[in-house]
Structure 1
Amino acid sequence: MVNDEELIEEFGRDTTHLPNLGTILIVEDDPRMQKVLYRIFSEEQYSVLVAGDGQTALEMFRQAHPLAVVLDLILPHISGRELCNMFKQVAPETPIVILSAITDVTDKVLLLELGADDYVTKPFSPRELMARVQAAVRRRNKPAQATVYHFANCEIDFKKMTVLRDGKSVVLTAHEFKLLKFFTENVERVLTREVLLNEVWGYNFFPTTRTVDNQILKLRQKLEPDPANPRHLLTIYGAGYKFVP
């Protein structure tokens, strides 16, 4: 674990007198990358905590309740993938931005389905990373919506992350909840795949829009009375999708 005081002593720059925009938890085992990330966020007036392994990161996350997390995938003790899932179970609203040299599309999709808010590939632009983290925080800080939403025979509690359909429990992944919430916040609005990728997945660019199609298909199978003839999650051909309660 690396704390502010140790890094301040090494860099010779004390930012404690500056306004604090919140705490960013950096989970990274490479000491050189720790220093780079510390500098990027501290210079923007964030308080920074740095953990070099998964177990330490989980303890710090529970104690500090950070504004956002920047998470590497290859870590000692607990993998970044497992840690992402654990973080979201503890505090599903906390933004998590993956920062990794792994470029495999399958891994990216899996992490996003586990609840990660964005994925930045190493080597990275500091400005891009900062923009992605700040965008994820802004999405989290949108005005609070009702935590329980009803449509047709479904009851969704977004705070508890539970779904009832005809009174029976339905299991959704963290990312399915995220997609469904965005639809409920944009009732009757036609949403393009690109908008959904950017606003829900946090991606400005993605190799294939089939990711959106597949996720909506899963939601239909779980929530629609007749998934083959949906009444609520509608396809608007040539445009995108629309949610009708």
Structure 2
Amino acid sequence: MSSIHAPHLYRVVLIDDDILLHKLLEMYLFEHHYQLQSLSCGEEIRDFISQQTPDLILLDIMLPGKDGLHWLNWLKHNYPNIPVMLLSAKKSAEERLIGLEFGADDYLTKPFHPKELLIRIRKIMRHPTLANKHVTYQIGSNLFNPAHEHLERNNQLIKLTTQESSLLQFFCQRPDEILTRDCISQALNGNEHQPLNRSIDMTINRLRKKLGDHASNPRYLCTVWRKGYRLTLAP
């Protein structure tokens, strides 16, 4: 088991016994600001997932011992909110359909170009409610429901735009972490932040108003000078 750490962004787990693939993806995803945790067999996911929750699992079908479809079934039964992408050398439409019927969120055949994998990961991560369909977050007196894209405060519903909801959920998944503008832009848009683009700052300002935050002295979405932003759930 090995890992290489990148701050703030999505935590991806690769379950595959191909050591060369681990090394290739570890470096490639690290260069694109993703943290990759490598496991060599399905059995290792039991202990790992009991200690920390990944944002996405890359699961090879042809594993030693119990195959990937067994572990996909186990994951979807026990952790249905974690998206799983199957990896397989089997290219037939039938095999792909079987994987999707088992509940896989995507299916990628080997060999594949790392850039295609990155594109597919970003596609899944741009739909944050996929990984947390039934999760709600308490932010002070606000109850945030990502699936329905709204806040509830004092029995009043406050509608959020899709961009606002995506950004707020990204913060909620990493409370008390300092998130840079590059980090946020990579996660939501798939590219680095452009210095003249103020869309992230404008979205945060709108979120502050909807959270009932104070613009000059925010309690929840705080600016960390020259670093980025940090969300505090219970100030």
Task: Bin the TM-score by the shorter chain.
Answer: 0.5 to 0.7
- AA paired with 1:3? S
- Equivalent runs, 1:139-158 vs 2, <5 Å: 139-141=127-129, 143-145=146-148
Equivalent in the alignment of 1:109: 97
Q: Confirm or deny: 8 A CA contact 2:7 2:35 kept in the other structure.
A: no
The residue number in structure 2 matching 1:49 is: 37
Question: 2: CA distance between counterparts of 1:81 and 1:113?
Answer: 10
Secondary structure at 2:58 match in 1 = strand
Residues 1:89 and 2:92 are matched in the alignment: no
Q: Does 1:75 align with 2:48?
A: no
2:2 is aligned with what amino acid? V
Encode CA deviations 1:13-58: one digit per residue, 9 max, x unaligned.
Answer: xxx5x53202100111011111112112211212211000110123
TM-score relative to the length of structure 1: 0.51
Give yes or no for contact 1:2–1:49 (8 Å, CA) kept in 2. yes
The AA in structure 2 aligned to 1:40 is: Y
Whether the 8 Å contact between 1:94 and 1:140 is mirrored in structure 2 is no
DSSP 3-state at the match of 2:127: helix
1:140, distance to aligned residue in structure 2 (A) = 3.5
Per the alignment, in what secondary structure is the counterpart of residue 144 of structure 1?
A: coil
**Alignment partner, residue 23 of structure 1:** 11
Q: Secondary structure at the match of 2:32?
A: coil
Conserved 8 A contact 1:101-1:123? yes
Identical-pair percentage? 31
Match of 2:158 in 1: none
Of 56, 62, 85, the match for 2:50 = 62
Aligned partner of residue 99 in structure 1, secondary structure = strand
Deviations 1:198-238 (A, max 9, x none): xxxxxxxxxxxxxxxxxxxxxxxxxxxxxxxxxxxxxxxxx
Which blocks of at least 5 consecutive residues in structure 1 are unaligned? 5-15, 147-245
Give the match for residue 2 of structure 2.
2
**Residue segments in structure 2 that go unaligned for 5+ positions in a row:** 131-145, 150-235
| Distance in 2 separating the partners of 1:138 and 1:64 | 21
SS in 2 for 1:136: helix
- The residue type paired with residue 20 of structure 2 is R
| Partner-residue secondary structure (3-state), 1:124 | coil
Structure 1's consecutive aligned runs of 4 or more residues displaced over 6 angstroms after TM superposition are none
Q: Call closer, same or farther: CA 1:112–1:27 in 2, change over 3 Å.
A: same
Q: Secondary structure at the match of 1:76?
A: coil
Q: 1:41·1:48 contact (CA, 8 Å) conserved in 2?
A: yes
